């Protein structure tokens, strides 16, 4: 039978002369209790900190990073402050931009003035007069002499028709008419083979058949291709020469796709040539090619240029420019636009002197001005210089305004007659759960009883 101790009976204090094993157990138990109490205190402190955390709007405000221009606030600067940082103003203008388009180009042959000299009959070249590429040739200048059996036969037919016409001179009208038609047919045959008319008349007058006939140049120009040699056998349809008339040349340039709206036929162009310094030429756009190069995103534009003295040579590099015709548009100086990467801003000066950032949509641009499609009116005045510094000032104002919403960071000036903002009361400190009553140290814990006890 177990006897329950009386609760009112005092318990005797442990004797300092207890065995060492019992004292060690009690020490470890005290350490375990201390660790448990410490863990509970840490949990309570964390829960208390979460309950006192700021609202989500304040949590999302990053006070360590200055806001971008997207959150810029209006700025008020005195004339002295504006002059000190170099701010100038410019009105928004309505008028043509006067944009100039420049591009590179090369000289090429006028394809409408190229001539190919071909053989009309089979034969052998006996003599070559035009014997190298690049030579300048005039109209009617001899090119080569050709022996062709078909030409010899045609000469014989011409002489026979000539004798027949003479023999029927006193005959009937039908016989005379038939002889005339035969004679004319023999002449046309030689002329169709490009035998010069003077040679045909000489053959007919002399009555002598020529073994070889001379062919002459039909155009004036420069030989750009020669594919015939002396003694060579040629066949009908074979190209012997290519001759280019360089009195007019083409200047072909590449215009970017974004500038096509400014290009039109008949537009005057000024061309300059590095090989001919100080001698710009003028011409007009005569053709705009209908396709866009998929790699360079450009369109070829052709300009015709007169070439007196043949100073312009095919393959020569050049640059040409023309004034782009535009309608009156709103524009501002290029320095007035501040691009943030996501937006394009300008600072507008209000009648009260406040400088306000405003979103704009950009259009065409020149070296000095840029078109404004939306966001401004002709009566506005914008900041034309030092926009970056002004943007920094605006961002600083936004930063300080955001910090004023933090507890204890209200730095906005109070208005006259307005009570000072109340400072929020500090939250009550959480209970100090880190403190606990530790058992008093046993002064006899390290005492070793006498061995006789």
Domains 102-110+247-323 and 115-244 share a fold: no
Question: What are the strands of the beta sheet with 221-226, ordered from one edge?
Answer: 114-118, 239-244, 221-226, 136-137
Q: What is the pLDDT of residues 7-42, one digit of tens each?
A: 454 444 455 555 556 767 877 778 788 778 777 777
pLDDT for position 322? 87
- For the chain, give every domain's residue range: 69-97+328-403, 102-110+247-323, 115-244
The pLDDT assigned to 352 comes to 85
What local confidence, expressed as pLDDT, does residue 357 receive?
87
Q: CA angle, corner 256, sides to 250 and 258, nearest 5?
A: 135
- Whether 220 and 274 have beta carbons less than 8 Å apart is answered as no
Secondary structure class of 297 (helix, strand, coil): coil
Confidence class for position 360, pLDDT limits 50, 70, 90: very high
The answer on pLDDT for 275 being more than 80 is: yes
Q: Coil, helix or strand for 286?
A: strand
Question: Quick one: pLDDT band at residue 411, thresholds 50, 70, 90?
Answer: very low
- Name the CATH superfamily housing domain 102-110+247-323: Efflux pump adaptor protein, beta barrel domain (2.40.30.170)
The Cα 225–Cα 241 span in angstroms is 6
Rounded-to-integer distance, Cα 309 and Cα 150, Å: 42
Q: What is the pLDDT confidence band of residue 138, given thresholds at 50, 70 and 90?
A: very high
E-strand stretches of 28-122? 75-76, 89-91, 93-95, 100-109, 114-118
**Cα–Cα distance for residue pair 39/436, rounded to 1 Å:** 13
Closest CA to 221 of 240, 246, 198: 246
Pick the CATH number of 69-97+328-403 from 1.10.3720.10, 1.20.1050.90, 2.40.420.20, 3.40.190.80: 2.40.420.20
Q: What average pLDDT does this structure show over 249-253?
A: 95
Instruction: Write the pLDDT tens digit of every residue in 280-310.
Output: 899 999 999 999 999 999 999 999 999 988 9
| CA-wise closest residue to 75 among 452, 356, 382 | 356
Nearest to 218 by CA among 235, 234, 194, 202: 194
SS3 per residue for 117-167: EECCCCEEEEEECCCCCCCEECCCCEEEEEECHHHHHHHHHHHHHHHHHHH
CATH number of 115-244: 3.40.47.10, 3.20.20.70, 3.10.20.740, 2.40.50.100? 2.40.50.100
Distance CA 208, CA 223 (A): 34
Taking only the tens place, the pLDDT of each residue in 44-79 is 767 665 555 544 444 444 433 333 444 557 878 778
| Closest listed residue to residue 380, CA positions, set 324, 311, 333 | 333
């Amino acid at each position: 039978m177990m006897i329950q101790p009386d609760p009112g009976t005092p318990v005797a204090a442990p004797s300092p002369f207890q065995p060492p094993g019992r004292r060690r157990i009690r020490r470890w138990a005290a350490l375990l209790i201390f660790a448990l109490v410490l863990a509970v205190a840490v949990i309570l402190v964390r829960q208390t900190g979460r309950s006192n955390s700021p609202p989500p709007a304040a949590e999302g405000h990053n006070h360590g990073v200055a806001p971008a221009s997207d959150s810029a606030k209006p700025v008020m600067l005195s004339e002295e402050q504006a002059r000190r940082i170099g701010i100038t103003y410019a009105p928004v203008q309505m008028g043509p931009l006067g944009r100039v388009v420049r591009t590179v180009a090369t000289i090429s042959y006028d394809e409408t003035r190229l001539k190919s000299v071909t053989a009309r009959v089979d034969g052998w070249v006996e003599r070559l007069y035009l014997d190298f590429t690049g030579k300048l040739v005039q109209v009617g200048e001899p090119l080569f002499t050709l022996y062709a059996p078909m030409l010899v036969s045609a000469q014989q037919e011409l002489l026979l028709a000539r004798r027949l016409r003479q023999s029927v001179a006193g005959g009937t009208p039908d016989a005379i008419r038939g002889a005339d038609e035969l004679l004319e047919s023999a002449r046309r045959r030689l002329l169709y083979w490009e035998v010069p008319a003077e040679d045909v008349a000489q053959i007919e007058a002399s009555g002598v058949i020529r073994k070889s006939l001379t062919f002459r140049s039909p155009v004036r120009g420069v030989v750009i291709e020669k594919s015939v040699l002396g003694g060579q056998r040629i066949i009908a349809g074979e190209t012997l020469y290519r001759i280019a008339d360089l009195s007019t040349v083409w200047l072909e340039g590449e215009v970017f796709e974004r500038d096509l709206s400014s290009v039109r036929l008949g537009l005057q162009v000024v061309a300059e040539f590095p090989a001919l310094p100080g001698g710009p030429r003028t011409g007009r756009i005569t053709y705009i090619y209908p396709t866009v190069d998929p790699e360079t995103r450009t369109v070829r534009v052709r300009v015709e240029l007169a070439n007196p003295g043949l100073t312009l040579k095919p393959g020569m590099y050049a640059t040409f420019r023309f004034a782009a015709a535009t309608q009156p548009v709103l524009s501002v100086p290029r320095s007035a636009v501040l691009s943030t990467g996501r937006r394009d801003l300008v600072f507008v000066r209000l009648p009260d002197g406040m400088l306000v950032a405003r979103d704009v949509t950009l259009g065409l641009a020149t070296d000095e001005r840029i078109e404004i499609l939306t966001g401004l009116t002709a009566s506005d005045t914008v900041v034309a210089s030092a926009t970056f510094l002004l943007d920094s000032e605006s961002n600083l104002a936004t930063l300080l305004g955001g910090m004023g919403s933090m507890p204890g960071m209200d730095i906005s000036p109070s208005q006259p007659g307005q009570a000072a903002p109340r400072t929020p009361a500090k939250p009550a400190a959480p209970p100090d759960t880190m403190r606990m009553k530790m058992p008093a140290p046993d002064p006899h814990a390290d005492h070793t009883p006498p061995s006789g006890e």
